[in-house]
């Protein structure tokens, strides 16, 4: 479990993530309030990537010492779940005071499909957000080759938007033609293309 703390004078916020038994991602929010009292109500707010308004993700009461902890989704006896997407910025709120923000982003994972009978591969980038379009149009995606020194850039191409039910309602794609066989390749979305909603990430490697 990876935890990163965001600290403020009145209320603190730490965020960690684990995969539950049903393979569902679970966010764990925790922290303390400055008066160290039990029974204080703390809210966790989330602002989706590209949006201007906060949404209530979870709320809980502090325990002894002012410590608090809540999970999303939350199990029995009071089950609750609020959708969370990559690029959500979390803050804790207590008596009108806010913690420092925590920007949660997952890796962008391009998908690759070969065009049958050709030496051309299509790279698909399908954003998983509630509103679909996060502005990948015109951004570069890289074709990289594995060398003894690591992954090296071969060339880049610009993503264009294409409606496709097979790859999701919002689908951005680019095409690479690789005449040479036997190369270990991957598609990689650099940080300047993946942000602000995702982190840089690569596809599963394949052989040309």
pLDDT tens across 58-85, in order? Answer: 999 999 999 999 999 987 777 789 989 8
The C-alpha torsion from 53 through 58 and 59 to 65, rounded to 10°, is -110
Domain ranges of the chain: 2-104, 111-207
- 52 Cβ contact partners less than 8 Å away, ≥ 6 residues apart: none
Q: What is the pTM of this model?
A: 0.80
CATH class belonging to 111-207: mainly beta
Report pLDDT digits (tens) over 17-65.
999 878 889 999 999 999 999 999 999 999 998 888 999 999 999 999 9
CB-count exposure of residue 147 (10 Å: 0-12, 13-18, 19+): exposed
Taking domain 2-104, whether its CATH number is 2.60.40 is answered by yes
2-104 against 111-207: fold identical: yes
- pLDDT band at residue 1 using 50, 70 and 90 as cut-offs: very low
Sign of CA dihedral 108, 109, 115, 120: positive
């Amino acid at each position: 479990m990876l935890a990163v703390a965001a600290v403020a004078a009145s209320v603190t916020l730490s965020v960690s993530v684990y995969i539950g038994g049903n393979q569902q991602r679970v966010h764990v929010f925790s922290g303390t309030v400055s008066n160290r009292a039990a029974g204080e109500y703390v809210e966790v707010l989330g602002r989706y990537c590209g949006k201007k308004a906060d949404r209530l993700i979870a709320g809980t009461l502090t325990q002894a010492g002012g410590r608090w902890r809540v999970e999303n989704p939350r199990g029995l006896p009071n089950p609750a779940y609020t959708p969370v997407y990559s690029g959500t910025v979390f803050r804790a709120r207590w008596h009108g005071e806010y913690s420092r923000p925590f920007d949660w982003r997952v890796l962008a994972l391009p998908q690759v499909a070969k065009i049958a009978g050709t030496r051309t591969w299509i790279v698909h980038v399908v954003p998983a957000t509630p509103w679909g379009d996060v502005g990948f149009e015109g951004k570069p995606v890289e074709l990289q080759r594995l060398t003894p020194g690591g992954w090296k850039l071969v060339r880049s191409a610009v993503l264009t938007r294409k409606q496709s039910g097979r790859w999701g309602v919002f689908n951005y794609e680019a095409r690479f033609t690789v005449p040479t066989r036997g190369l270990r390749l991957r598609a990689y979305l650099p940080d300047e293309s993946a942000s602000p909603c995702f982190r840089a990430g690569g596809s599963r490697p394949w052989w040309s």
